[in-house]
Homo-oligomer: A and B are copies of this chain.
Amino acid sequence: MSAQTRPENARPRLSRERVLQGAMAVADAGGLAALTIRSIAQELDVKPMSVYHHVANKDAIVDGIVDLVFSEIELPTPGKDWQAEIRRRSVSAREALRRHPWAIQLLQSRTHPGPATMRHHNAVIGTLRQGGFSVAKTAHAFALIDSYVFGFALSEAALPIHGPETVPGVAAQMLEGFDPNEFPHLVEFSVAHILQPGYDFGAEFGYGLTLVLDALA
């Protein structure tokens, strides 16, 4: 029998793509702290040092998975209605960052954008320019929109809330050790809003996005 292919039950060959996908799976499951060379190797059913045949070092892996996240964001189409296109891309970006919250804190430290990141920025800028924005206005709009989108994702990820049922416990824990009378506005806000049934911070996103896009128009 020819040995040109591996036995069916063998794992496929390692590759840069498989390393990055494995790394993303690890980060999704356990957060950035769980992302170690050893955990990635285990996820891929391989020994740690094998990973290094496909990526230079851990930083390259991190750069790679950040670009993977950008590749999940729907690109706006330059030439079409800018407001609708930017809205679609913003909603998509927020969803991507919700799926991969660990990516947010990496956005800051990564200075080696990958191809998906470049395509993304190019498409956003092109959509604004062809939507009638001058170069200077494009800069304003780009800064405002992305600050809002990424900032919202940051706030959302900072909330230790995973499902409505966890809200009361978290709120109680945050206030524990403090005198409630010292923070009357915070207490009123918690009781009258956050602790109400049906509270969902994520719903705020659309409200702010509409306000921002209208303000730019």
Contacts and interface: CB of A to CB of B under 8 A. Distances in A.
A84 interface: no
Contacts of A211: 144, 212, 215-216
Contacts of A148: 144, 147-148, 151
A155 B143 contact: yes
B208 A147 contact: yes
A118 B186 contact: yes
Nearest to A115: B178
Contact of A186 (B105, B125, B139): B125
A158 B108 contact: yes
Interface string A111-134: 111010011011101100100000
Nearest to A105: B105
Interface in A55-113: 78, 101, 104-105, 107-113
Give the number of times this chain occurs in the complex, counting copies. 2
A184 interface: yes
B183 A119 contact: yes
Given A151-B147, A193-B139, A208-B144, A109 B118 contact: no
A136 interface: yes
Contact of A204 (B135, B143, B152, B193): B143
Interface in A136-181: 136, 138-140, 143-144, 146-152, 154-155, 157-158, 160, 170, 174, 178
Interface pairs A-B: 5 shortest CB-CB: A151-B151, A126-B185, A147-B151, A105-B105, A144-B208
Given A111-B174, A138-B189, A148-B148, 20 more contacts: A105-B108, A118-B186, A119-B182, A121-B186, A122-B182, A122-B183, A122-B186, A125-B188, A126-B184, A129-B188, A129-B189, A135-B189, A140-B208, A143-B205, A146-B155, A147-B151, A147-B155, A147-B208, A150-B154, A211-B215
